[in-house]
Amino acid sequence: MLNGAINTNLMRLGEDNINSLKASVANLVSTPKSVQKTSAPTNLSTDKIQSVINQYGGGKSPLTAQDYIKVSTATGVPVDALLTQGALEGNFSTKGLAKTTNNPGNVGNTDSGATRTFSSQYEGLLAQANLLKNEYNYQGGFSADKFIQNNFTRPRGGRYASDPKYGEKYSSILKIVRNKL
């Protein structure tokens, strides 16, 4: 008799969870996609973003403010974080491997000589944002501040950059970027 009562309660608990999950899924599916997407902050000016790109890229970057806004909107990774890494990793793809591999975040470009090449700078920027979003997704999502607080490490382990001064450089550039925006 006790086993029957336990089984009945377990089944009821399972049904309640299933019904709750169904309701959540139905709500998510019925929510318009424009509401589900994370968008770039509305107070950002393309002129201000472009001025950051021009400052660090010497006016020669193949990437534009619109590229950064579009990628930020698509991925939810804040523009300030993308701009900071764009400046730090290869001066907005005007120098080094970031330029020759179409890889503004140097995603997969390592000190040991491994490289990852993309078909366009935009594709490389999108890969960078997706890496930050998926691999450095701290509780509550990715932000430049959380990236710094967690010493550029993934929640599951591993560090973004091997440069011991990466944090110092990143923080300094982030401050400049935020002051310009």
Q: State in Å, rounded, how far the first CA of the chain is from the last one.
A: 69
Domain layout of the chain by residue ranges: 2-36, 46-180
Residue 81: both structure tokens together: 């974080």
- pLDDT, tens digit, for every residue of 92-116? 999 999 999 999 999 999 889 999 9
Q: What is the CATH number of domain 46-180?
A: 1.10.530.10
Q: Which residues of 143-174 are buried (b: 16+ CB within 10 A; e: fewer)?
A: bbeebbeeebeeeeeeebbeeeebeeebeebb
The answer to whether residue 29 scores a pLDDT higher than 50 is: no
Prediction pTM value: 0.74
Which residue did the predictor score with more confidence, 19 or 134? 134
The answer to whether residue 171 scores a pLDDT higher than 60 is: yes
